[in-house]
Amino acid sequence: MAKPVAARGFARNRVLEAALELFAQHGVQGTSIQMIAARLGVTKASVYYQFQSKDDIALAVAQPIFDDIAHIQRIADMLPTPEARRDVAVSGLIDLVIRHRQVANVYYGDPVMKELIETNANLRAIIDGFTELLLGPGPADTELVAITLLTAGIYGCTADVRLDGIADDDLRELLQDVVKKFTAAL
C-alpha cells in the first residue's frame, strides 16, 4: 500500500515554520538549508523541492508582512491629508508588528533581509512607499529622526522580553496611546 503524500502547501508551510524557528535562533545568514532539512527530518533535496534557495525561503516567511504593508498603503492612499495617512500607517504598523511578532522580530535589522529588500524592486517599492507615508512630503531632519525613532521603538516593544507578559491586545492599546502622544509633538 502506498504511503499517503502530504499536499505541497503543507510541506511548504512546514519548511517555513522550521526556517522561522532557525532564523530566530541563528539569524538568516547563520541558518543553512541543511539545518532546515535536519529540523524537519528530511533531505536537503526535499527542501529544495519546495524552494529554490534560502533567500526564497526568507522572502516567503516575510511575505505576509509585505502584503500587510501594501494593504496599509492602499488604505492610507485614500485619505486626504499627509497627517491622516501617517496616522493610518503608524496604526497599521503597530497592528502588523503585533500580528507578525515573531517574523518581525527576526527580520527587523537583519542584514540578509536588508540586502534581499534592496535587490528586489517590488519589495523596495513597498518599503519606499510605506516610508513616504510615514514621513509625508519633504520631511525635515527632525521628522526623519522622529519617525525612525518611533518605528524602531514599535519593533523594539514587540521584541523586548520584558514585555512578553503583556497580551497582544493590551500592547496594541498601549502602543497606540504612546504613539498618539509622540506624534502630537511632530
Most confident of 7-11, 112-116, 154-158, 173-177: 173-177
Question: What's the whole-number mean pLDDT along residues 64-72?
Answer: 94
Question: What's the whole-number mean pLDDT along residues 90-98?
Answer: 94
From start to end of 50-89, where are the E strands?
none
pLDDT recorded at residue 136: 82
Query: What percent of the chain clears pLDDT 70, i.e. is strictly above it?
Result: 95
Residue 49 predicted with pLDDT over 70: yes
Residue 6 predicted with pLDDT over 80: no
- Is this structure's pTM higher than 0.85? no
pLDDT recorded at residue 7: 53
More confident residue, 108 or 41: 41
Please answer whether residues 111 and 29 qualify as being in contact, where contact means their C-beta atoms are separated by less than 8 angstroms. Answer: yes
| Residue 55 to residue 36: CA distance in whole angstroms | 13
pLDDT recorded at residue 1: 46
Predicted confidence (pLDDT) per residue in 123-141, tens digit: 999 999 999 898 888 889 9
Residues in the chain: 186
Residue 4 predicted with pLDDT over 50: no
pLDDT recorded at residue 8: 59
Give the residue carrying C-alpha cell 542584514.
111
| Residue 73 to residue 92: CA distance in whole angstroms | 9
Report which DSSP code applies to 120. Answer: -
